[in-house]
Amino acid sequence: MIRLEDITRRYGDETAVDSLSLEIAEGEVCVLIGPSGCGKTTTLRMINRLIEPTSGHIFVDDRDILSLPAEELRRGLGYVIQSIGLFPHLTVAGNICVVPRLLGWEKSRMVDRVDELLKLVGLDPNAYRDKYPRQLSGGEAQRVGVARALAADPPVLLMDEPFGAVDPLNRERLQSEFARIQRELKKTVIFVTHDIDEAIRLADKIAIMRDGKLQQFDTPEEVLNHPANKFVHDFVGADRALKRLVRVRVEDVMRSPATVLDGADLLTLQVGAGRRRFAYVVEPDGRLIGWVDTLGLDEGSVPEAALTRVVPADASVRPDDSLRDALSRMLGLGFRSIAVTDRNDVLLGEVTFAAVEDAMTEGDEHISNLPPEGAA
């Protein structure tokens, strides 16, 4: 889908990007990562011709990007930047419609598209369409920035540290929303970041750069398990096992829980708990209300003293959360397992500590014979 062939960009004597070759398949998220100044932004901006390469060729859909006018090329490549750059004199709707307007869309089509996109990025169209950028919070503005880039449904998205300027809590929320949107839309995405956790979480392929040179181009799992050199190894950090958890989603390892209806007889509990010591207590509609320790209980109904009530939002994870979220929840609460619930607090399953451990050690190998530094 996108192919960079031996791209070099020099500024005077300095080489910002050095003989870089990459191939990104359709529908894939490629994350460009590396320390500040390693040439990520330069690489990204060469793809939409905001910067011209000193040498080399770039192909989008097997067409050399030089073969069509720069403006036309850019209208087909969604572009999101860290500073967002919303037009302050246009409303949210006006900002989203910039490219559709350049493309000469019908008014009614633009109106529909605005609502559709605002819903997609998690903003209520009625509340947001007529707001001005200065009335938005950082996270809201960044969502509008993403909606604007998606407006004309470009097959490719170029994102330069899109969540770099928002606070950590909002960044995680934006990341999981981006992951959801990407599962839905299947764009070809080139995503620049300097945050390795973000890269591991969102990438299908990670391209690690240093001083303009590509160090490794691989899946996150490969980068974690087989770093190509010492630089990559150090860049990924010592907590590779934890990082691996980011790649695994709760729904992939959860098992069905032992449950019992609130107020039910202990005999039912014993059956429902399947001889496990702890069981989740749910309402008839499946909503989680707490858990019960069956040790020492053998007859009658569940006594209130044995029931620990919980606030589901605090004591459970969602199916599309990562295992690292699940682990940190467990550690925070001091449990050996954690409930999985949906949006409405309905119990779906549980994740155990043992399952987390399995995922953490999977594919782990000792990195002994690293190639010397600098070799890719």
Partner 1 sequence: MGAFVALAGVTVLPFVELRPNRLVPGNAYSVAAAGPWAYLLWLLVAVGFLSAVAPTARARAASSTASGYGLVIALAWGLGAASTALLVDQTAVARVSLGSGVWVLLAGTAILGFSGGEERRRKLLRWAGPLVLVAGAVIAAFVWGGLDRISLAREFSVRASSFWSLLGGHLAMSGAGLGFGLLLGVPLGLWATRNRHVRAVTLGVTGVIQTVPSLALLGLLIAPLAALGVAVPLLRDLGVRGIGAAPGLIALTLYALLPIVRNTYVGLAEVEPAVIDAGRGMGMSSWQLLWRVEFPLALPLIVEGVRTAAVLLIGITTLTVFAGARNLGILIFEGLGQFAPDLILLGALPVIALAVIADVALSALGRAFTPEGVRA
Ligand X SMILES: Nc1ncnc2c1ncn2[C@@H]1O[C@H](COP(=O)(O)OP(=O)(O)O)[C@@H](O)[C@H]1O
Residue 23 in 3-state DSSP? strand
- 87 touches partner 1 (CB under 8 A): yes
Q: Is 9:185 a contact under the CB 8 Å cutoff?
A: no
Give 11 or 87: the residue with its C-beta nearer to ligand X.
Answer: 11
Distance, CA of 114 to chain centre: 23
Which residue, among 113, 71, 77, has the nearest Cα to 94 in the 3D structure? 113
For the sheet containing 63-64, what is the strand order? Answer: 14-24, 2-11, 55-60, 63-64
Q: Helix, strand, coil % (nearest 5) of the chain?
A: 40, 25, 35
The CA-atom distances, in angstroms, between 173 and each of 20, 70, 121, 167 are 32, 34, 11, 10
Nearer to ligand X, 54 or 176 (CB): 54
Q: Does 187 bind partner 1 (CB under 8 A)?
A: no
Quick check: 210 binds partner 1 (CB under 8 A)? no
Candidate segments 4-12, 21-29, 40-48, 227-235, binder of Mg ion by CB under 5 A: 40-48
Determine the Cα–Cα distance for residues 318 and 340; give it in Å rounded to an integer.
Answer: 5
Answer for which of 13, 36, 88, 295 binds partner 1 (CB under 8 A) is 88
Among 27, 56, 85, 125, binds partner 1 (CB under 8 A): 85
Q: Which of residues 77-96 bind Mg ion (CB under 5 A)?
A: none
Distance CA 83, CA 17 (A): 23
Q: Which of 42, 91, 294, 316 binds partner 1 (CB under 8 A)?
A: 91
Stretch that binds partner 1, among 96-104, 201-209, 240-248, 355-363 (CB under 8 A): 96-104
Least separation in angstroms between residue 161's CB and Mg ion is 6
Q: Which is nearer to partner 1, 84 or 214 (CB)?
A: 84
Smallest distance, ligand X to C-beta of residue 245, A:
27
118 close to 128: Cβ distance less than 8 angstroms: yes
Q: Minimum distance from CB of 32 to ligand X (Å)?
A: 8
User: Restricting to residues 101-160, which ones interact with partner 1 according to CB under 8 A?
Assistant: 102, 132-134, 148-149, 158
Q: Which is nearer to ligand X, 34 or 162 (CB)?
A: 34
Give the single-character DSSP code of 116.
H
Closest CA to 219 of 228, 229, 211: 228
The one of Mg ion, ligand X, partner 1, none whose footprint includes residue 133, by CB under 5 to 8 A per kind, is partner 1
Q: Which residues bind ligand X (CB under 6 A)?
A: 11, 14, 16, 34, 36-42
Give me the residue label for tokens 């606070």: 167
Query: Taking the complex as a whole, how short is the minimal distance between the CB of residue 81 and partner 1, in angstroms?
Result: 6
Which one, 209 or 326, has the nearer CB to ligand X?
A: 209
Please give the residue whose beta carbon sits closest to Mg ion in the complex.
Answer: 41
CA 173 – CA 224 distance, rounded (Å): 24
Which helix H or strand E contains 243, and what residues bound it? helix 240-246
Contact of residue 275 among Mg ion, partner 1, ligand X, none (CB under 5-8 Å per partner type): none
Taking the CA atoms of residue 234, residue 240, residue 246 and residue 251 in that order, the dihedral angle to the nearest 10 degrees is: 160
Smallest distance, partner 1 to C-beta of residue 52, A: 13
Query: Which of 347-358 are b and which e, b meaning 16 or more Cβ less than 10 Å from the residue's Cβ?
Result: bbbbbbeebbee
Q: Which does 179 bind (CB under 5 to 8 A by kind): partner 1, Mg ion, ligand X, none?
A: none
What character string, x for contact with partner 1 (CB under 8 A) and - otherwise, covers 65-84? -----xxxxxx---x-x-xx
Query: Which has the closest alpha carbon to 11: 41, 34, 32, 35?
Result: 41
- Indicate the burial class of 188 (C-beta count within 10 angstroms; 0-12, 13-18, 19 or more): buried
Q: Which of 41, 43, 259, 322: binder of Mg ion (CB under 5 A)?
A: 41
Contact residues for partner 1 (CB under 8 A)? 45, 48, 50, 70-75, 79, 81, 83-91, 98-99, 102, 132-134, 148-149, 158
Contact residues for Mg ion (CB under 5 A)? 41
